[in-house]
Structure 1
């Protein structure tokens, strides 16, 4: 069975996501500007904001459909640790290194 998300080409989804992002930021900035300069937000800004929020749900479902449900990747955050051997006792201890060393 074909995933319904795969029916939308990747390049088209990318373009839609970018346009949606620009529109979201633009309408948010417009509403903020009106609220601070004029003291009230025009009705058309409220209407456009409502539509953007509604359409955002569809984009969220498409994005969720593109997430693989495989096992979680465990990051190795201590990969820079190193072993130090005491020359007198021969005892080995693990020292915590800094990232990038």
Structure 2
């Protein structure tokens, strides 16, 4: 939610780990593409896509943990906790395939 030029996102402390994980994901995606190009067995491809999904979830969880530990914690001290909490819950709902609540429907 912060837009100032000097603001550092909470994930900055894990930036290198996130970039490494994303690079690994890139390689996995290319590997699945090669499997499809080579007409490999469907189940093998599905297993690899399942591994991809788990890896993406792992990246998302790390960013979320950093967000809660940093950005949300800061929001509590600055009085912006409600907006940040709502934002986090919207992301969680989307990731679980649940509808995002609007202010009117959450009352």
TM-score normalised by L of structure 2: 0.41
Give 1 or 2: higher strand fraction: 1
Larger gyration radius, structure 1 or structure 2: 1
TM-score normalised by L of structure 1: 0.43
Give 1 or 2: higher helix fraction: 2
Q: Which has the higher contact order (CA 8 A, sep 6+)?
A: 2
